[in-house]
Amino acid sequence: MSDTYELKAEARERVGKGSARELRRNGKIPAVIYGDKQPPLSIALPYKDVTMKIHGGGFMTTIATIDVGGDKIRVLPKDYQLDPVRDFTMHVDFLRISKNTSVTVDVPVHFINEEESPGIKRGGVLNTVRHTVEVNCPAESIPDAFIADLTGLDLGDGIHISNITLPDGVEPTITDRDFTIATIAAPAGLKSEEDAAAEEEADAEAAEEATTEEEEEGGEE
């Protein structure tokens, strides 16, 4: 799990669009902390600090501590909104975390040992079906990433969730099938060559069958 971090926040007494716009003009982001059977808490966070964490990676899978006037609250980011035009952070939702909290998160997949894949050595392409895997797990044990080892994979081979080592207590939300993470796809040039070879083989078989039929017909005469 990624290292935790701390953000200082101010409690918000006023809420609504007007209040939120005023906060943003003053370099702050409106946010809400909810969950753990407690009332929602409206807060304001420094824009620069939050934006740095969002763009630094791992924001949605890293537990944070928010200091609200000396009251330190452990949270996990659950959602954030970006302005569709100007791409700045508009709002953040946080979930309160306790030792028994279970969460649903998207964990990224990292691929290793591409140089050990015969299929990639032959010009194959790594076709990533899932860049992340959604899992249920304890909030205190969120994996940083899942490791997919490409060693020994040839053209047409794939990696499924059963090939990924999952930590204790971590379960994928999809449980009805061994879903695909990635495959090694044949390059376009190789596909064309294989198609051409298949066509030649089919033509040869057809010609052989035609010759046999002619010989059989001649024998009957």
* pLDDT score at 184: 94
* pLDDT score at 95: 96
* pLDDT score at 24: 86
* pLDDT score at 84: 83
- Is residue 111 included in any domain, yes or no? yes
Q: What is the pTM of this model?
A: 0.74
Question: Distance between CA atoms of 65 and 166, rounded to whole angstroms?
Answer: 26
Residue of 35, 32, 34 lying closest to 43 (CA atoms): 32
* pLDDT score at 14: 73
* pLDDT score at 91: 92
Q: List CB contacts of 128: < 8 A, sequence separation 6 or more.
A: 109, 111, 181, 182
Question: Distance between CA atoms of 221 and 207, rounded to whole angstroms?
Answer: 21
**78: helix, strand or coil:** strand
Residue 103 sits at the vertex; the CA angle it makes with 96 and 167, to the nearest 5 degrees, is 130
* pLDDT score at 56: 87
Look-up: residue for tokens 């190789």? 190
Give the number of domains in the chain. Answer: 2
Task: Give the CATH number, domain containing residue 128.
Answer: 2.170.120.20
Q: 98, 130, 152: which is the final residue of a domain?
A: 98
* pLDDT score at 214: 55
- Is residue 93 included in any domain, yes or no? yes
147 and 178 in a single domain? The answer is: yes
**75: helix, strand or coil:** strand
Q: 66, 98, 130: which is the final residue of a domain?
A: 98
29 and 89 in a single domain? The answer is: yes
Q: Decide: 133 and 182 in contact? Cβ < 8 Å.
A: no
70 and 115 in a single domain? The answer is: no
Q: Which domain holds residue 84?
A: 5-98
- Is residue 65 included in any domain, yes or no? yes
pLDDT in tens, the chain (221 residues): 557 899 999 998 777 777 888 888 889 999 999 998 899 999 999 999 999 999 888 899 999 999 999 999 999 999 999 888 887 889 999 999 988 899 999 999 999 999 999 999 999 999 999 999 999 999 989 999 999 999 999 999 999 999 999 999 999 999 999 999 999 998 876 655 554 554 555 555 555 655 554 555 555 45
* pLDDT score at 219: 54
6: which 2 tokens?
A: 């701390």
